[in-house]
Amino acid sequence: MAHALGALASVSPSVTADASLRKTGFKINNNLSYDNRLWIPLSSVNLKSRFSSTKYRCKVVSMSVQQTVRSKIPVQPLELENAKETPLNLYKPKEPYTATIVSVERLVGPNAPGETCHIVIDHGGNVRYWEGQSYGVIPPGENPKKPGSPHNVRLYSIASTRYGDSFDGKTASLCVRRAVYYDAETGKEDPSKKGVCSNFLCDSKPGDKILLTGPSGKIMLLPEEDPNATHIMIATGTGVAPFRGYLRRMFMEAVPTYKFGGLAWLFLGVANSDSLLYDDEFTGYLKDYPDNFRYDKALSREQKNKSGGKMYVQDKIEEYSDEIFKLLDGGAHIYFCGLKGMMPGIQDTLKRVAEQRGESWDTKLSQLKKNKQWHVEVY
Ligand code: FAD
């Protein structure tokens, strides 16, 4: 695919973690290097040996003096495309799969409120899944509410494609925000009340064992019958996880049976630019696929909406409401993922916009649901 860099330049991943890697899962720079691999994710830092083979080296072919073409990354095993049925609950809480942590990397910069980590897990190809599904994680220790029993399962949206960040079908990645507790009166952090599973995941080290259940969920599966469909993705924070998987499948991986030619439009809401997740990865798609990808960010603590208030995803939706409504009328899929609290504001905005257009939102929403265009996973 064309990658107009203006001059012969390429993406040159480094196995040395640096600031640009932290936010992205992979590194872009303008160094010319035909010998390096492209699009290599951060998580591959610990998967180096898997990439040492030349088959993972992507070709950079000169299109003209001004442009280069970089090919998508081959994935395997392609049998993962052949399953007729969605993989569901291959592992259950009573008999979870013991997987191994490959890497844990902080995704956000120093000025982000809170911490979000990218966690790569080696499941050995045994807990296969499709884009948009979730894994269950059983944190170690005893359930305080049921002494003698393990903790309850916590669900996490999978942030990689079925091939994983290692492109070999053996890993899955999660995007986890560390749950911390601040005392309402003192305003101080109370570590005794911190979230059990998110802290276990963010503190885990390569080689640690992790109990997995799942995969679960069908609502966020990427409908692939029409490779030219439009997909509007609305995410807040870690809600970006399933969309990272979709977008890697659409734009990064060479899947012979899925050649995306439609439009993917991501709206991502986070607190500030340091909180952006996988931003360089998404920005890379914008450069490579300007006709197929749109990316709009709402930075609540940095940007103002048109009324002078904080900029939330619903403000961005409102800004583009004409186009969004037209795309929905044309059959676009719309997805929402992130914290539960995002939905009321978004629904209010959509309702207001519909009314301004002389449409009934309730009728429109039931039509979207009936047509399976409406996909919501909030937590
Ligand atoms: P818990 O231990 O379950 O605690 C929950 C909250 O209660 C925490 O904020 C904790 O600080 C607070 N708390 C603990 N003790 C007390 C107390 N005594 N008094 C008051 N408060 C207390 N999360 C992600 O980060 N990324 C994802 O991609 C993701 N995907 C999800 C997908 C689905 C379908 C669902 C349902 C959830 C998803 N989640 C995701 C949320 C995730 O499942 C967990 O709920 C989250 O990580 C918190 O779990 P925990 O074990 O860390 O916190």
Strand stretches in the chain, DSSP E: 2-3, 60-62, 68-70, 73-74, 97-106, 116-122, 134-138, 154-157, 171-177, 209-216, 230-236, 253-254, 263-270, 293-299, 333-338, 374-378
Q: Is 244 annotated as a binding residue?
A: no
pLDDT at 71: 87
Determine the atom of ligand 1 nearest the C-alpha atom of 377. 34
Mark whether 377 is an active-site residue: yes
pLDDT at 70: 65
Q: Is 339 annotated as a binding residue?
A: yes
pLDDT at 170: 98
Determine the atom of ligand 1 nearest the C-alpha atom of 155. 43
Distance 282 CA to ligand 1 centre (A): 27
Distance 195 CA to ligand 1 centre (A): 6
List the catalytic residue out of 56, 97, 156, 335.
156
Atom 7 of ligand 1: nearest residue by CA position:
195
pLDDT at 277: 98
Atom 29 of ligand 1: nearest residue by CA position:
156
Mark whether 204 is an active-site residue: no
pLDDT tens digits, one per residue of 227-272 = 999 999 999 999 999 999 999 999 999 999 999 999 999 999 999 9
Q: At 230, list the tokens.
A: 């439009």
Atom 32 of ligand 1: nearest residue by CA position:
156
Q: Ligand 1 test: best mutation among 107, 120, 193, 376, most atoms within 8 Å of CB?
A: 193
Rounded Cα–Cα distance for residues 281 and 28 (Å): 8
pLDDT tens digits, one per residue of 113-134 = 999 999 999 999 999 999 999 9
pLDDT at 6: 30
Strand stretches in 84-226, DSSP E: 97-106, 116-122, 134-138, 154-157, 171-177, 209-216
Q: Is 237 annotated as a binding residue?
A: no
Distance 78 CA to ligand 1 centre (A): 35
Task: Specify the pTM.
Answer: 0.86
Q: What residues of the chain score a pLDDT lower than 50? A: 1-63, 65, 69
Q: Is 157 annotated as a binding residue?
A: yes
